[in-house]
A and B are shown apart, each in its own frame.
Chain A
Amino acid sequence: MKQDFPEITSFGTLFAFAQALEEGLIRMSEEASTKGGPKAAEAGQAHKKHAKRAKQLERLRRERLNEVVLQPLEGMNRDAYAPDLCCPEDASGSALALAKAEEKAALFYEEAAEKAKSVLGGMERTLKKLAAESRELAASIRE
């Protein structure tokens, strides 16, 4: 399924990108898990995590973005982080595509954490944790 991603021009759009990413990964992981195959359980696990993460990000966006932290953001190119969220027909292809998408997500959260460091106090750790989680999910699917 095609997923649109916003340009990342502010911390608001950074969160919007993250939410779009999680929504895409929710759909993709669900699809991958229903296709069966040896990695269906891992995909199911990813689905649960992304559902939780989407809620967490919505809450953080509401709670953390106020005037003090609204400012232009440069240096994050959406094309570098936007994964291909299409699931191939076969189970193993779907799992592999999911792993690749998780790796892109990890890259996004790692670089977002760097940007957040000096502006969104307290968010750096959360974003790094999301990055690590995506890396782990990708690794568990690729194993």
Chain B
Amino acid sequence: MTTGILPEVKKHYGKTKNYIDGEWVESSSERTLPVENPATGEVIGEVPLSTADEVDDAVSAAQEAFEEWRETPPHIRVQPLYRLKTLFEDNYEEIARILTQEHGKVIDEALGSVRRTVDNIEFACGIPSLLMGDYLEDGAAAGIDEIAIRQPLGVFTAIAPFNFPAMVPFWFWPSAVACGNTFVVKPSELVPLTQQRIFELIDEAGFPEGVISMVNGDRETGAALIRHPRVRGVSFVGSTPVAKAIYAEAGSLGKRVQCQGGAKNFITVMPDANMDVCLPNMVASFFGNSGQRCLAGAVLVLVGDSADAVVDRFVTAASGLKLGYGLDPSVQMGPVAGRPQMEKILGLIDKGEAEGGKLLLDGRGVKVPGYEKGCFIGPTVFDHVDPESTIAKEEIFGPVVSIIRVKSLSDAIELANGSSFGNASSIYTSSGKSAREYTYRVEGGNIGVNIGVAAPMAFFPFGGMKDSFFGDLHGQGKDGINFFTDRKVVISRW
């Protein structure tokens, strides 16, 4: 291990291919997009925006593979997943470096997200136990037994966001495939290179042809997947308007749907919080992944009279973060994931200023020496933000904090529950009573107590509430198993 910038795996990755029916296939689409490194501004690849015909090829192959795959015993079905886990461990650093290069997150964050990816493979390896049904002797009447079994449904798809290029598809497909379904992944067109490398490992792991496929593309490609009559279920992670639209459309077509939408996460700090311990964790919540996590803190709610002291310490810590290219291990915050994201965030900062927020730390116009073409926005902190203003209500998805001061814990809870979103929320406190009250009353799918990024592990469900989630069964954990299987009851008399 040496200091300095870690090497890029490649300077240019070429044009990505689709992986259909166990083969690498060049897309025939004339529509393509460049893939840019957001830290350097360099073009590092090209992604095709696949056609509806190519989607049909992938889904048809998945459908063809389904019957034989569902008849493969569960303990055999998980063998390629075990091999894939080993391949991930062997290529762990390389995947993380590609991820940093195309997305911008710092290498620690990339490594952490690859770990979360592997966690989901490991979870799915337990499917022989997780898939077991229920059996009750004399369950229906004397001499009449009743059993409930789980069965796979067919072809599923996942449409992934840009903020976690490796991990998000793995919330879904390993469990789905281990349950006996087949699957088609569509990575985000902004960050397709990590999945390209991962699918090389998937190919090497030796899944039967058609069981797991990948189609590159944009919204049109995604729409073709959602509308395909052979697709039985859709998992989506992205913005709220798109999540809502997919939920409505796929639902109307009779498909299973789980759609994770946007977020506006409220982080409450009580006067009794141990700031020495909590401050670095709070800073990581707001600025980790450059604020581009669905679990990132967005609104800092300060309760009581100690707000000024917290603000001073928070701003000092935020202003000390080292920005740069994420392949430099000492960098603490990378760029945002692309030019359009950057423009959107800058526009919202302008709006926050225009609406009267007091700008304590301004990340606009920040320059990172050597990376002048990068999409960098420094930590940005607004104080005394009007709860009705745009930056207090809308998802910014960037390193921008809105501070709101309130008198009591009840006020803080009311404020958080006033949001249309309900993805995550955290409280920093030394009081068990306050923590209990917060976790009991806040309407959010993921609650942190002295934890700023309450990210459920692979064996727990991951999903929000209100406008942050559309569906009933969340991704990951037992919810995932339920989503990817149907229940069948058999009542027998002999």
Chain A count of residues within 8 A CB distance of the other chain: 28
**Chain A residues positioned under 8 Å from B317 (CB to CB):** 72
Q: Are A62 and B92 in contact (CB under 8 A)?
A: yes
Given contacts A67-B288, A71-B284, contact A16 B329 (CB under 8 A): yes
Q: How far is the CB of B174 from chain A (nearest CB, A)?
A: 17
| Interface residue from A5, A9, A67 paired with B322 (Cβ < 8 Å) | A9
Is residue B453 contacting chain A, with contact meaning CB distance below 8 A?
yes
Is residue B1 contacting chain A, with contact meaning CB distance below 8 A?
yes
Is residue B321 contacting chain A, with contact meaning CB distance below 8 A?
yes
Give CA–CA (A62, B92) in the complex, Å: 9
Q: Are B330 and A67 in contact (CB under 8 A)?
A: no
Q: Are B330 and A72 in contact (CB under 8 A)?
A: no
**Chain B residues positioned under 8 Å from A20 (CB to CB):** 1-3
Given contacts A12-B108, A70-B108, A72-B317, contact A62 B115 (CB under 8 A): yes
Q: How far is the CB of A73 from chain B (nearest CB, A)?
A: 7
Q: How far is the CB of A90 from chain B (nearest CB, A)?
A: 28
Q: Which of B131-139, B275-283, B467-475 contacts A (4 or more CB under 8 A)?
A: B275-283
Number of A-B contacts (CB under 8 A): 82
Is residue A89 contacting chain B, with contact meaning CB distance below 8 A?
no
**Chain B residues positioned under 8 Å from A68 (CB to CB):** 451, 453, 455
**Chain A residues positioned under 8 Å from B119 (CB to CB):** 66
Give CA–CA (A66, B108) in the complex, Å: 8
| Interface residue from B1, B116, B280, B295 paired with A71 (Cβ < 8 Å) | B280
**Chain A residues positioned under 8 Å from B7 (CB to CB):** none
Q: Are B108 and A72 in contact (CB under 8 A)?
A: no
Give CA–CA (A66, B119) in the complex, Å: 11
Q: Are A72 and B109 in contact (CB under 8 A)?
A: no
Q: Mark A53-74, 1 if CB is under 8 A from B, else 0.
A: 0000000011101111011111
Give CA–CA (A110, B309) in the complex, Å: 31
Q: Are B329 and A12 in contact (CB under 8 A)?
A: yes
Q: Are A74 and B107 in contact (CB under 8 A)?
A: no
Residue of A nearest to B453 (CB): A67
Q: Are B109 and A70 in contact (CB under 8 A)?
A: yes
Give CA–CA (A119, B451) in the complex, Å: 10
| Interface residue from A9, A19, A74, A119 paired with B330 (Cβ < 8 Å) | A9
Is residue A4 contacting chain B, with contact meaning CB distance below 8 A?
yes
Residue of A nearest to B119 (CB): A66
**Chain B residues positioned under 8 Å from A66 (CB to CB):** 112, 115-116, 119, 455
Residue of A nearest to B318 (CB): A72
Is residue A23 contacting chain B, with contact meaning CB distance below 8 A?
yes
Q: Are B280 and A4 in contact (CB under 8 A)?
A: no
Is residue A7 contacting chain B, with contact meaning CB distance below 8 A?
yes
Q: Are B116 and A67 in contact (CB under 8 A)?
A: yes
Is residue A6 contacting chain B, with contact meaning CB distance below 8 A?
yes
Q: Mark A103-132, 1 if CB is under 8 A from B, else 0.
A: 000000000000000110000000000000
**Chain A residues positioned under 8 Å from B451 (CB to CB):** 68
Give CA–CA (A23, B288) in the complex, Å: 29
| Interface residue from B1, B92, B280 paired with A74 (Cβ < 8 Å) | B280
- 6 contacting pairs across A/B (C-beta < 8 A): A4-B2, A10-B332, A13-B330, A62-B111, A72-B280, A73-B280
User: Beyond A12-B107, A67-B293, A68-B453: 7 further Cβ-contacts under 8 Å?
Assistant: A4-B3, A7-B330, A9-B332, A16-B329, A67-B116, A68-B455, A71-B281
* Interface pairs A-B: 9 shortest CB-CB: A12-B108, A71-B284, A7-B330, A4-B3, A71-B280, A20-B1, A4-B2, A19-B1, A66-B112
